[in-house]
């Protein structure tokens, strides 16, 4: 009734093409009627579509469909007005655009309702569009007998997630309509005012299943408002009841994996051939278990570029590359790693971006104008430049010294805010996420749906940072309850409840950095591993309760880190000199594959240069992208300003260019960056003012310095890629530049070089 008439716009275009010379008055009248019907239908479709969008979760395609649909509405109305007033030329242009809009919006609409493969899935060569039981969960399809303990755990996670997202708002701790709660085994089995709602092994007799299966209009249907349960969710609950409504017994039987807190030092496996370094020995065991063969390590050119970018964030000079390739010493890679790690300023200038992201430190943004936020740049830079031991680094973040207090102070937002955004709660969230690899954000509003952390736990931890005890707010509503003061892991010790805030912070810092807090150091080494190899041993890096792909390797790295005095540079050296780090890079077909439980480690994950690395690469290879005046000198130690070869991107205030390349705004903690290219990046690199202006300015200098094509191309390849151009590359460049380089030709050549994978990727 709503969408079909829009298709009449396409019919109107066909008739207009048939009657292009405009000789048929009857066709003109028919076209006018079709256009007005189509335009009116488009208006109705947009209105109803907007309402429908609020009722479900449709993914990223929704916004494209929404705005292309609205554009179609505007175009169709304008086309109708144009034909009404006999503006034929304007009408035809608008009708063409309208039909394109209909097609574009319709394509994304079909993707929303029928999936991305709605076209390919119905081709003769494809599988049937509807598979038997396609909406059922995997374990429903594959298991007809008793469930293993692992399957029981997975099923319980699935069931509790469904209940939490759909039922707890009315049948949880905060509210129990009909005297029914569904947030514990005892409560579910007890039922509500009307009696039992779950009959184990009998989903057909269970009131819960009957209620969630009723049509939406039925007065007994559940949930009473909001989106209904999907067929898949209903099938999971049926399967769960059919298997006996399994639920873990006792307080200790968590359905979520909880990683051990205490440290562990696994026995290092035996050496085998050239597998002698401890990391490689653990990986060798993993490879044998997963039937993965060792591949030859990368060549010297790849290694030197990889380790330069990973340790100091800069491209290696071509003369360094040639000297390294010619060096015959067997330990030259170890010597190179030591040399780069001893470049204290270069090291700090690169790694400060990683820690700025994690510690929510930036140079501009929300809070700085009003004094509700403080930067930690000078302290952070000095800590990195002097290689401050990690336990001392953490202690000064939690129990602040002058210059480091910005991390736990958080952002003092203006105006009315959600209770979970209080500065004390921000401190609790940030400390737990960055330092302990756990998520308290869900549990800052309500009991978490993805872990065992409770609302009371978050408030008790936040009270350590508070001057007065906080009242617990559930989903931003006061409960009248006051939380105590408690560390997240009581095994580490107790906090003095009646002590001053300053004393509590000292106690918290001392408790967290204890050697027995293995979680703190596992989280740190996992972050560094992820930064150097593209994926953590545990992934995501903020969910340290997830299963590592090698628990022994993770535990040994944390233990070795502690044994070496919590020395970050020694940790990095250990990793980059391993054969594991030197394996050829790998890629994933889909971005989500890197997070999959089925992920198998085979080597470093190929990744794009970060915003700062790419910017610095352009600055060193062609032309500095930022002038000295662009650098935030007032935020940095005086001695450092004289050591910068150019204004490094890490110290420049964020701008559209770096934003497009993935630099976050740092108003929240950011512990990973996507390595996927996107449309914004493509547009900025193609038409962005900053990049274009840099190419223009640099082209003038390069033309003056290199008057002939061959010398210019050779110099540019050495600076950008660390090698001479191949004959075919030189020939292609000669076609672009001609015998005498022009500024426009130089710009085109540099732009092309900057976009090739050899420049953009860390292999």
Distance from C-alpha of 435 to C-alpha of 394, rounded to nearest angstrom:
8
Instruction: Tell me the three state secondary structure of residue 480.
Output: strand
Tokens 């095994």 correspond to 491
Do residues 104 and 68 lie in contact, with contact meaning Cβ atoms separated by under 8 Å?
A: yes
pLDDT of residue 17: 85
Which residues are paired to 482 by β-bridges?
A: 471
Model pLDDT for residues 92-134, shown as the tens digit of each residue: 888 888 888 888 888 777 776 655 555 654 555 444 333 444 4
Q: Among positive and negative, which fits the CA dihedral 387, 392, 396, 398?
A: positive
What is the CB neighbour count within 10 angstroms for residue 387? 17
Tokens 């330092």 correspond to 435
Before 223, cis peptide (omega within 30)? yes
Is 90 exceeded by the pLDDT of residue 311? yes
Distance from C-alpha of 19 to C-alpha of 34, rounded to nearest angstrom:
15
Per DSSP, 133 falls in state T
Distance from C-alpha of 685 to C-alpha of 679, rounded to nearest angstrom:
10
DSSP labels, 535-584 = S-SSSSTT-TTSPPS-HHHHHHHHHHHHHTTS-HHHHHHHHHTSTTTTSP
Per DSSP, 264 falls in state -
- Average pLDDT of span 219-243: 87
Distance from C-alpha of 552 to C-alpha of 264, rounded to nearest angstrom:
9
pLDDT of residue 739: 85
pLDDT of residue 712: 95
Alpha-carbon Rg of the chain, whole angstroms?
Answer: 31
Model pLDDT for residues 155-196, shown as the tens digit of each residue: 887 888 888 778 877 887 767 888 898 878 888 999 998 899
pLDDT of residue 374: 92
86 token code pair: 């006999």
Model pLDDT for residues 555-594, shown as the tens digit of each residue: 999 999 999 999 999 999 999 999 999 999 998 877 777 8
pLDDT higher for 35 or 323?
323
Q: Among positive and negative, which fits the CA dihedral 350, 352, 355, 356?
A: negative
Lowest mean pLDDT among 26-30, 123-127, 433-437: 123-127
What is the CB neighbour count within 10 angstroms for residue 606? 16
345 token code pair: 């300023």
Distance from C-alpha of 309 to C-alpha of 680, rounded to nearest angstrom:
24
Model pLDDT for residues 395-425, shown as the tens digit of each residue: 999 999 999 999 999 999 988 888 999 999 9
Is 90 exceeded by the pLDDT of residue 390? yes
Distance from C-alpha of 325 to C-alpha of 650, rounded to nearest angstrom:
30
- Average pLDDT of span 65-80: 86
pLDDT of residue 119: 65
140 token code pair: 């429903």
Lowest mean pLDDT among 194-198, 466-470, 639-643: 639-643
Report how far apart the first and last C-alpha atoms of the chain are (Å, whole number): 54
Q: Read off φ and ψ for residue 354, nearest 5 degrees.
A: -60, -45
- Average pLDDT of span 350-363: 96
Distance from C-alpha of 377 to C-alpha of 384, rounded to nearest angstrom:
11
Distance from C-alpha of 112 to C-alpha of 130, rounded to nearest angstrom:
16
Contact partners, residue 518, CB within 8 Å, separation at least 6: 260, 261, 262, 263, 264, 555, 558
Say what angle helices 377-385 and 344-359 make with each other, to 10 degrees.
Answer: 130
Do residues 357 and 345 lie in contact, with contact meaning Cβ atoms separated by under 8 Å?
A: no
Tokens 């509003």 correspond to 445
Do residues 579 and 334 lie in contact, with contact meaning Cβ atoms separated by under 8 Å?
A: no
Average pLDDT, the chain: 88
Query: 413, 419, 494: which is closest to 455 by C-alpha?
Result: 419
Model pLDDT for residues 329-338, shown as the tens digit of each residue: 999 999 999 9
Instruction: Tell me the three state secondary structure of residue 761.
Output: strand
48 token code pair: 């109803």
- Provide the whole-model pTM: 0.76
């Amino acid at each position: 009734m709503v969408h079909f008439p829009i298709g009449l716009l396409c019919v109107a275009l066909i008739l207009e093409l048939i009657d292009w010379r405009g000789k048929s008055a009857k066709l003109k009248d028919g076209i006018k009627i079709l256009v007005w019907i189509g335009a009116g239908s488009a208006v109705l479709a947009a209105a109803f579509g907007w309402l429908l969008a609020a009722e479900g979760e449709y993914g990223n395609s929704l916004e494209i469909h929404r705005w292309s649909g609205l554009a179609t509405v505007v175009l169709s109305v304008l086309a109708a007005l144009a034909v009404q007033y006999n503006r034929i030329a304007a009408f035809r242009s608008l009708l063409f655009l309208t039909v394109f809009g209909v097609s574009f919006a319709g394509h994304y609409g079909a993707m929303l309702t029928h999936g991305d493969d709605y076209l390919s899935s119905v081709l003769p060569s494809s599988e049937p569009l509807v598979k038997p039981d396609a909406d059922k969960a995997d374990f429903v399809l594959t298991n007809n007998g008793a469930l293993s303990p692992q399957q029981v755990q997975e099923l319980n996670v699935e069931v509790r997630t469904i209940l939490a997202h759909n039922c707890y708002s009315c049948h949880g701790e905060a509210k129990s309509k009909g005297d029914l709660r569904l947030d514990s085994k005892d409560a579910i089995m007890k039922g509500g005012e009307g009696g039992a709602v779950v009959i184990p092994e009998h989903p057909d007799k269970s009131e819960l299943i009957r209620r969630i299966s009723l049509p939406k209009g039925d007065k007994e249907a559940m949930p009473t408002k909001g989106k209904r349960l999907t067929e898949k969710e209903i099938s999971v609950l049926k399967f769960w009841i059919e298997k006996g409504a399994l639920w873990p017994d006792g307080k200790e039987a968590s359905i979520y994996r909880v990683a051990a807190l205490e440290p562990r030092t696994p026995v290092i496996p035996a050496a085998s051939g050239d597998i002698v370094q401890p990391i490689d020995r653990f990986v060798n065991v993993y490879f044998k278990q997963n039937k993965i063969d060792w591949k030859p390590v990368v060549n010297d050119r790849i290694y030197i570029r990889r380790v330069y970018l990973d340790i100091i964030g800069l491209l290696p000079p071509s003369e360094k590359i040639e000297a390294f390739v010619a060096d015959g010493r067997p330990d030259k890679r170890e010597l190179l790693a030591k040399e780069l790690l001893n470049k204290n300023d270069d090291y700090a200038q690169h790694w400060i971006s990683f820690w700025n992201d994690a510690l929510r430190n930036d140079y501009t943004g929300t809070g700085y104008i009003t004094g509700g936020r403080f930067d930690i740049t000078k302290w952070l830079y000095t800590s990195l430049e002097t290689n401050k031991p990690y336990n001392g680094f953490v202690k000064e973040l939690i129990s602040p010294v002058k210059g480091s207090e910005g991390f736990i102070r958080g952002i003092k937002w203006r105006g009315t805010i959600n209770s979970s955004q209080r500065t004390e709660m921000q401190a609790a969230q940030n400390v737990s996420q960055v330092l302990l690899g756990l998520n308290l954000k869900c549990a800052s509003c309500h009991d978490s749906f993805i872990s065992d952390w409770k609302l009371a736990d978050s408030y008790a931890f936040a009270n350590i940072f508070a001057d007065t005890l906080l009242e617990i707010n559930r989903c931003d509503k006061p409960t009248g309850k006051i939380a105590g003061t408690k560390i997240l892991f009581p095994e580490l010790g107790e906090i003095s409840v009646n002590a001053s805030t300053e004393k509590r912070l000292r106690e918290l810092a001392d408790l967290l950095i204890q050697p027995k807090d293995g979680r703190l150091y596992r989280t740190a080494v996992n972050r560094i591993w992820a930064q150097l190899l593209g994926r953590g041993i545990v992934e995501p890096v903020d969910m340290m309760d997830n299963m590592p792909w090698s628990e022994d390797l993770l535990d040994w790295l944390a233990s070795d880190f502690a044994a070496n005095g919590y020395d970050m540079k020694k940790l990095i050296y250990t990793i980059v000199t391993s054969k594991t780090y030197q394996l050829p890079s790998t890629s994933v077909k889909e971005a989500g594959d890197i997070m999959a439980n089925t992920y198998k480690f085979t080597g470093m994950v190929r990744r794009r240069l970060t915003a700062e690395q790419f910017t610095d690469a352009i600055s060193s290879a062609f032309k500095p992208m930022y002038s000295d005046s662009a650098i935030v000198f007032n935020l940095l130690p005086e001695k450092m300003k004289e050591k910068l070869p150019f204004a490094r991107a890490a110290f420049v205030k964020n701008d559209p260019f770096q934003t497009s390349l993935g630099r976050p705004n740092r108003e929240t903690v950011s512990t990973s960056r996507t390595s996927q290219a996107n449309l914004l990046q493509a547009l900025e690199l193609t038409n962005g003012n900053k990049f274009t202006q840099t190419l223009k300015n640099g082209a003038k200098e390069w033309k003056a310095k290199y008057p002939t094509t061959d010398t210019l191309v050779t110099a540019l390849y050495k600076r950008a890629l660390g090698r001479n151009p191949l004959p075919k590359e030189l020939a292609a460049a000669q076609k672009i530049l001609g015998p005498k380089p022009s500024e426009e030709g130089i710009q085109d050549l540099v732009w092309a070089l900057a976009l090739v994978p050899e420049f953009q990727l860390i292999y």
